[in-house]
Amino acid sequence: MSSNERSEARSVILRLRRYRDRIEEITSGDGGRGEAGAPAVVAAERRLKSLKNDLDQDAHECGIAGRRAVHTDCEQRFLWPALREAARAMTEQSRPRLPDAHTKEDLRVARAHILVHLERLEGLYPTL
């Protein structure tokens, strides 16, 4: 395994972990910030909107005729499928709200899609 492959894998692993962590932050109840009540909901909805926008943008990037002409093998096999599937799970509602049960389920499904690909990649590169 070349150092270039390891570097690409590490980059994809870190990106998928960031998405996983963002979803967990939103679903943790108070976002890990100790907030309570309406301000916590507003902050979580803001993070949810940002997450959804980033997933949509990244899923669009990985599509045919995306911003970059060349994608690494690791991106094609792990990153893009995870992001496309997660974005698809999050597009069910036009205006996601918290603590709505449907939104929480969409987040759970999006997280599961990311974890499947993340865990497969981490299994191939356990020391990264």
pLDDT of residue 112: 98
Residue 45 burial (CB count, 10 A): 18
pLDDT of residue 96: 61
pLDDT of residue 34: 47
Identify the domain containing residue 68 by its residue range: 3-124
**How many domains in the chain?**
1
- List average pLDDT for each run of 10 residues in the chain, which is 128 residues long: 89 96 85 59 87 90 59 90 93 64 90 98 90
pTM: 0.85
Give dist(CA 73, CA 58) in Å, integer: 17
